[in-house]
Structure 1
Amino acid sequence: YAPPPPGPAIRTLPTEAYAPWVSRALAFVIDYLPYVVLQAIGSWIMFATQQSGCVTDVTQYTVNQYCATQDSTTGVLAQWLATLIGLGYLVWNYGYRQGTTGSSVGKSVTKIKVVSEVTGHPIGFGMSVVRQIAHIVDAIVCFIGFLLPLWDSKRQTLADKIMSTVVLPIEQ
């Protein structure tokens, strides 16, 4: 007979021992701010460099003018570049940084970290990316999964429950 599997490294703690929802929400805003700024810059360049052209149709009885506006090549390239840089930032921030240290940029500012419930350590690059993708489940039913930490005893979202992760304050 094999011995029973070890219990979770993070035993059930009082609710106050887990990161509060406000800290998690603020970390999310801080994490996405650079991405939003990059997208705004790309969109502004695309809008500012639009090209317009008009054609006038003159017949015996009427004069009609037809105009069209389209995005310039420069604008489209700027938007794509902003998107690629932004996605690269998100993969680095949520995949590499959060996966290896437990904290994304926003979580570092708010002094919280994501750890495995089983080991108590950061979850690694791949699992951190999968955790971000799992947040789709939080959004499926009116974003209720993101509000779950408000009343859950471990302050977990549905993605946290799926991935067996908890968010804890960083001890100083």
Structure 2
Amino acid sequence: MSYPNNPYGQQPQQPQQPGYGYQPQPAPGQGAPQPAYGAPQPAYGAPQPGYGAPQQPYGAPQQPYGAPQSGYGAPQPPYGGQPGYGAPMPAYADWGHRAGAYLIDALMFALPAVILQVLAGSIGTEKVVCTTSTTVRCTGGGYSGLGMFLLLLAFVAGIGGMAFLAHREGTTGQTPGKKILGIRTIRESDGQLLGFGTAFGRKLAHIADALPCYVGFLWPLWDAKKQTFADKIVGSIVVKA
């Protein structure tokens, strides 16, 4: 069948039907509200704002990330029971307790080395033999093989004892003497333990305490922080445990 008004013989097209799943949309204006997308859905049980509707902005104030809350971020006691940053330092240990702890440690670890040195000098020396002809000539008098061995043991005992005390003081804050008298050694800057290296250096720094007539060992008697010269060198303090 032909139509007189169609010169090319084309069939007039029928209005397009909406495709499968297509929802009719209002003609006026692009971006008109679409009830199908983002509308309140009863499946979740509560109305939800539509797509693009005002909602909580991305950067709106909310619970800050680092705000204190239970668990994460809450103040906790420092590891090992050491005073944390900002915590008050314990009271300084008096000179009497420090001297008493030093004597206890010396009796336990330095005395064996001293005894070995005495033995090396008494039974580990060669006898002096003097001969006379025209002149007096004496030989011997030095350390024998036994004496040299005893001196070596004394050296090992002294270094080993100092290393053990440094290890205990650096890792626990207390030598056996300090533990008995209830004091400990910590860093002045933050109240933490010295560590083995600093504690061993502190032992060596006691040479500075002994050089000026042992006045460095007496310095805590009038020092505000009750420090010896060795304490000032490595930045340590001795406090009550």
- After TM superposition, the score normalised by the length of structure 1 is 0.76
**1:94-105 mapped onto 2 (5 Å cutoff):** 94=166, 96-105=167-176
Matches of 2:212 and 2:133, distance apart in 1: 56
% same residue: 35
In structure 2, the partner of 1:115 is 186
Change in Cα spacing, 1:134 to 1:49, as seen in structure 2 (3 Å) is closer
Check whether the contact 1:9–1:118 (CA below 8 A) recurs between aligned residues. no
| 2:149 is the alignment partner of 1:74 | no
- What secondary structure is seen at the aligned counterpart in 2 of 1:51? coil
Q: Which moved more, 1:102-111 or 1:45-54?
A: 45-54
- Which of 96, 110, 118 is the aligned partner of 1:22? 96
Q: Residue type of the partner of 1:43?
A: V
Change in Cα spacing, 1:55 to 1:106, as seen in structure 2 (3 Å) is same
In structure 2, the partner of 1:92 is 164
| 2:103 is the alignment partner of 1:44 | no
Cα deviation for residue 115 of structure 1 reads 0.5
Check whether the contact 2:112–2:154 (CA below 8 A) recurs between aligned residues. no
Check whether the contact 1:138–1:145 (CA below 8 A) recurs between aligned residues. yes
Change in Cα spacing, 1:117 to 1:10, as seen in structure 2 (3 Å) is farther
Matches of 1:141 and 1:65, distance apart in 2: 42
| 2:155 is the alignment partner of 1:54 | no
Matches of 2:152 and 2:113, distance apart in 1: 10
Cα deviation for residue 54 of structure 1 reads 3.1
Check whether the contact 2:188–2:237 (CA below 8 A) recurs between aligned residues. yes
Cα deviation for residue 118 of structure 1 reads 2.1
Q: May I ask how many residue pairs the two structures share in their alignment?
A: 156
Larger RCO (CA within 8 A; separation ≥ 6): 1
Q: Which moved more, 1:24-33 or 1:140-149?
A: 140-149
Cα deviation for residue 39 of structure 1 reads 2.2
Check whether the contact 1:31–1:106 (CA below 8 A) recurs between aligned residues. yes
Matches of 2:184 and 2:154, distance apart in 1: 28
Matches of 1:148 and 1:10, distance apart in 2: 27
- Which of 203, 207, 212 is the aligned partner of 1:141? 212
Cα deviation for residue 159 of structure 1 reads 2.2
Unaligned runs of 5+ in 1: 1-7
Cα deviation for residue 90 of structure 1 reads 0.9
In structure 1, the partner of 2:105 is 31
Cα deviation for residue 166 of structure 1 reads 1.3
Unaligned runs of 5+ in 2: 1-84
The structure with the largest strand share of the pair is: 1
Matches of 2:230 and 2:131, distance apart in 1: 58
Q: RMSD between aligned alpha carbons? A: 2.5
- What secondary structure is seen at the aligned counterpart in 2 of 1:114? strand
The structure with the largest helix share of the pair is: 1
Matches of 1:83 and 1:121, distance apart in 2: 32
Check whether the contact 1:116–1:164 (CA below 8 A) recurs between aligned residues. yes
Q: Residue type of the partner of 2:104?
A: I
Q: Residue type of the partner of 1:154?
A: K
- After TM superposition, the score normalised by the length of structure 2 is 0.56
